[in-house]
Amino acid sequence: MLLAFSDYSETKNNFKALEDRRDEWLGGMNKGGLKSNINRAEIIMINNTRFLIMSLKNGDEYYSSFISDRKGSRGISGSIQYKAEDREKGEKVLLDFLKHISFNAPSLSGDN
C-alpha cells in the first residue's frame, strides 16, 4: 500500500471547484475508454472539510486520489494505491488519514 500527499496553493484566479475537478476527471476517463474502471468519484465531508475522492481499478490494483477544498489559498491533495485484495484496508487507511487532517482558519487578509 502506498500513500502520498502534499499541500497545494491556489490563487483566486485559478480556483477550480471540486465539482468541476470531478467532472473533468470523469470526462477524461470516458474519453480514454476507462469508464468501466471507475470505482468512485464523490465529494464527501469530513470535519467540516469537503474532499473529492476519485478511484479506479486497473488489473488487481486500485488507484485513488483525493483533494480538499481550499482553506484560504491552501489545501491538501494526494493518492493511495493498494491491491484489490486489500481494498477494505486501503479505503479505511484513506478515511482515517482524512479524518486526521485539520486546517487553521483562513486569515481575514486571505494570506493563508
- Is the pLDDT assigned to residue 55 strictly greater than 60? yes
* DSSP class of 32: T
Tell me the H-state helices in the chain. Answer: 18-31, 87-99
At 17-50, the pLDDT tens digits run: 899 999 999 888 888 887 888 888 999 999 888 9
Q: How far apart are CA 100 and CA 26, in angstroms?
A: 28
All structural domains of the chain, each given as residue ranges with its CATH number in brackets, are: 2-99 (3.30.310)
C-alpha cell at 62: 486500485
Label residue 57 by pLDDT band (50, 70, 90). very high
- Indicate the length of the chain as a whole number: 112
Q: Specify whether the CB–CB gap between 73 and 110 falls below 8 A.
A: yes
